[in-house]
């Protein structure tokens, strides 16, 4: 084996030595745990956290055991900083660093590195190799690893200082990823809550939460009296798509986005007989496999020419003044979505009637309140998009570096 095969592609400055291959069992001590007999009340409800395989990356546990429960079983206590490796079931191959001192069950292998070997470095290597390990050892329907399999894994190690540097680097990267994950989840929770609370429900003429300065009752107006409908592409065959100087808004684009993505369009030939979409138009999906997904809406905020709507949606062009962002999120509010659910008809596939949609009442506040609500949701969506993009970017960086910073 050449010396270059014992060095990673990317290294921190100052490190040049070749890495040494070692068997994990030769550079660490390990043990698995056990479970106190179920049903014995004296074994449970104590002060010792009982860590199960789904909790190896958590700082809390669902169960606690007593000292008597620990003594009566093969459960063993791990220290903060020990490597925890899941061996059984759906979590096989998952790995973490113990955040609490607690007892582990038989589905977890605790690994404590010897002096000169860094726990975070080993953990990151095991995490990077999860797919290889499970593909190699969990074939033929077998769902479990074993302590011997893990101890026989061969890892290439640099000197301790480089191990520590690599382990710390990936820990910092993981913290940043977790930060964006939490911000993303929190923003989505806020959006879901506000889609209920910023719009009237249960026949009320006022929402539960309002921005300062707004007190007037909201109107309830039929969609059909506030605008007109138009059809999507018609008279086309599959040969017409995938080329041409025109574009069309796809079903998926409408389904996924309250504000249609003007970059996610597909090509079609220019056709003067088709309805071109305009700024402020609303698109509605007409069918789906579940009633909960029928009538998803999207607002078009672009002035491009030769752009059409797909044939599985219909368009709606307001004739009254609306804030387009208010319109986009109002139509996806929980109260309005329930009305679409009520209109969905079908068995294996569900459809809505365009006529019935136009008879639907929607809540309409003053234009100033529309603008305030629209600005709130558009800002919140930008925050969600930012954290989503950062998360994807960091995950791609991590995946690449896990390949290039280990041998």
DSSP secondary structure code for residue 297 in this structure: E
Q: Which two tokens stand for residue 62?
A: 């669902």
DSSP secondary structure code for residue 266 in this structure: E
Question: Nearest 5°: phi and psi at 142?
Answer: -70, 135
> Is 145 within 8 Å of 133 (Cβ atoms)?
yes
- The alpha-carbon radius of gyration of the chain (Å, integer) is 29
Q: Domain 1-15+159-200+367-407 falls in which CATH fold? A: Helix Hairpins (1.10.287)
What is the C-alpha to C-alpha distance for residues 377 and 194, in angstroms, rounded to an integer?
Answer: 9
Indicate the SS3 state at residue 82.
Answer: coil
- ∠ Cα 149 142 30 (to 5°): 25
The 10s digit of each residue's pLDDT in 169-188 is 999 999 999 999 999 999 99
- The ranges assigned to domains in the chain are 1-15+159-200+367-407, 20-157, 219-364
Q: What is the pTM of this model?
A: 0.82
Instruction: Please give the span between the terminal C-alpha atoms of the chain, in angstroms, as a whole number.
Output: 13
DSSP secondary structure code for residue 255 in this structure: H
Strands of 287-288's sheet, edge to edge?
Answer: 287-288, 350-351, 345-346
Q: Domain 20-157 falls in which CATH fold? A: Adenine-n6-DNA-methyltransferase TaqI; Chain A, domain 2 (3.90.220)
> Is 125 within 8 Å of 97 (Cβ atoms)?
no
For position 1, what pLDDT does the model report?
43
For position 293, what pLDDT does the model report?
87
For position 345, what pLDDT does the model report?
86
Q: What residues in the chain have per-residue pLDDT under 70?
A: 1-4, 139-143
Q: Which two tokens stand for residue 39?
A: 């049903």
Q: Domain 219-364 falls in which CATH fold? A: Adenine-n6-DNA-methyltransferase TaqI; Chain A, domain 2 (3.90.220)
The two counts, helices (H) then strands (E), for the chain are 10, 22
| Alpha helix (H) residue ranges in 218-307 | 251-256
For position 347, what pLDDT does the model report?
79
For position 139, what pLDDT does the model report?
63
């Amino acid at each position: 084996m050449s010396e270059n095969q014992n060095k990673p592609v990317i290294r921190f400055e100052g490190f040049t030595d070749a890495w040494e291959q070692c068997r994990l069992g030769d550079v660490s001590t390990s043990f698995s745990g056990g479970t106190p007999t179920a049903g014995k009340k004296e074994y449970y409800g104590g002060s010792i956290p009982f860590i199960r395989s789904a909790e190896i990356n958590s700082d809390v546990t669902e169960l606690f055991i007593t000292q008597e429960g620990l003594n009566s079983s093969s459960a063993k206590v791990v220290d903060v900083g020990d490597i925890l490796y899941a061996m059984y079931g759906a979590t096989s191959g998952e790995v973490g660093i113990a955040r609490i001192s607690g007892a582990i069950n038989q589905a977890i292998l605790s690994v404590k590195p010897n002096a000169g070997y860094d726990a975070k470095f080993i953990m990151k290597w095991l995490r990077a190799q999860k797919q290889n390990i499970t593909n190699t050892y969990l074939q033929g329907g077998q769902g479990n690893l074993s302590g011997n399999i893990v101890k026989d894994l061969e890892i290439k190690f640099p000197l301790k200082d480089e191990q520590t540097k690599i382990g710390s680097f990936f820990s910092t990267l993981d913290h940043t990823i977790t930060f964006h994950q939490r911000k993303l989840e929190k923003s989505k929770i806020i959006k879901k809550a506000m889609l209920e609370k910023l719009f009237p429900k249960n026949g009320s003429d006022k929402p539960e939460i309002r921005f300062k300065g707004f007190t007037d009752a909201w109107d309830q107006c039929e969609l059909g009296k506030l605008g007109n409908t138009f059809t999507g592409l018609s008279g086309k065959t599959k040969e017409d798509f995938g080329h041409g100087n025109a574009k069309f808004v796809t079903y998926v684009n409408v389904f996924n986005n309250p504000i249609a993505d003007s970059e996610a369009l597909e090509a079609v030939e220019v056709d003067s007989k088709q309805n071109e979409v305009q700024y402020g138009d609303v698109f509605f999906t007409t069918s789906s496999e579940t009633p909960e997904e029928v009538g998803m809406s999207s607002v078009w905020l672009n002035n491009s020419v030769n752009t059409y709507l797909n044939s599985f949606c219909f368009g709606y062009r307001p004739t009254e003044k609306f804030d387009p962002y208010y319109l986009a999120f109002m139509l996806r509010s929980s109260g309005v979505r329930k009305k679409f659910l009520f209109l969905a008809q079908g068995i294996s596939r569900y459809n809505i009637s365009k006529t019935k949609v136009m008879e639907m009442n929607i809540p309409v506040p003053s234009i100033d309140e529309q603008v305030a609500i629209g600005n709130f949701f558009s800002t919140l969506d930008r925050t969600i998009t930012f954290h989503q993009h950062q998360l994807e970017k960091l995950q791609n960086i991590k995946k690449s570096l896990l390949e290039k910073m280990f041998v």
